[in-house]
């Protein structure tokens, strides 16, 4: 059974083969990736999609494709993923995240879609807590987290375990929302 979430303006749906090209284009946009680690090549982008599809099949959640219902077939991706690495001080946890095409910024799509995903997480999935994190300079994402009523305790900010000291994306802020 295919999973999908609908909001007044958006559809969040499972991945299709034709999503690989727009996702690769999105993931190569410098503005979109300013605060994210880039994929090294198209194969890595395609592998990420394959991981999301497998994760969704196994767990009933993942990052899904965001569409503007009836208007735009690929706006970006948004959803939940597991954080299991012991290097993250808050793991294990379920994280919400997003990546939207630049021409869809500033319209409230990330907040609208994320609310639907959080409601699904607390409802259908029975989660008690969802986290989100980003680098301190990413005010757009922090703003979405705050509009979602997520809360930050500066004492929980952390260094990304996969990045070396001095890397500009190493320091992260952590937000939480509880049911």
- State pTM to two decimals: 0.94
Asked if residues 76 and 104 have their Cβ atoms less than 8 Å apart, the reply is yes
Domain residues for the domain of 14 are 4-178
What is the three-class DSSP state of 162? coil
Residue-wise pLDDT for 26-70, tens only, equals 999 999 999 999 899 999 999 999 999 999 999 999 999 999 988
Asked if the model's pLDDT at residue 1 lies above 70, the reply is no
Residue-wise pLDDT for 130-167, tens only, equals 999 999 999 999 999 999 999 999 999 999 999 999 99
- CATH code, domain with 52: 3.40.630.30
**Percentage of the chain with pLDDT > 90?**
91
Region 5-12 average pLDDT: 96
Number of structural domains the chain divides into: 1
Q: For residue 16, what pLDDT band results from cuts at 50, 70 and 90?
A: very high
How much is the pLDDT for 71?
80
Residue 52: φ, ψ to 5° = -65, -40
How much is the pLDDT for 41?
93
How much is the pLDDT for 60?
93
Quickly tell me which residue has 């979405």 as its tokens: 144
DSSP per-residue string spanning 2-37: --EEE-SSEEEE---GGGHHHHHHHTT-TTTTTTSP
């Amino acid at each position: 059974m295919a999973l999908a979430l609908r909001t007044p303006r958006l559809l969040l749906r499972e991945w299709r083969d034709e999503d690989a090209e727009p996702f690769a284009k999105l993931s190569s946009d410098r503005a979109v990736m300013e605060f994210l680690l880039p994929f090294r090549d198209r194969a890595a982008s395609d592998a990420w999609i394959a991981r999301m599809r497998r994760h969704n099949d196994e767990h009933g959640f993942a990052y899904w494709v965001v569409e503007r219902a009836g208007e735009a077939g690929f706006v970006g991706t948004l959803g939940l993923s597991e954080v299991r690495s012991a290097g993250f001080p808050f793991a294990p946890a379920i994280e919400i995240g997003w990546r939207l095409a630049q021409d869809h910024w500033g319209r409230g799509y990330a907040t609208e879609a994320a609310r639907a995903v959080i409601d699904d997480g607390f409802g259908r999935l029975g989660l008690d807590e969802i986290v989100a994190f980003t680098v301190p300079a990413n005010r757009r994402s922090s703003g979405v987290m705050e509009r979602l009523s997520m809360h930050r305790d500066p004492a929980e900010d952390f260094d990304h375990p996969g990045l070396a000291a001095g890397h500009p994306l190493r320091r992260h802020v952590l937000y939480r929302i509880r049911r």
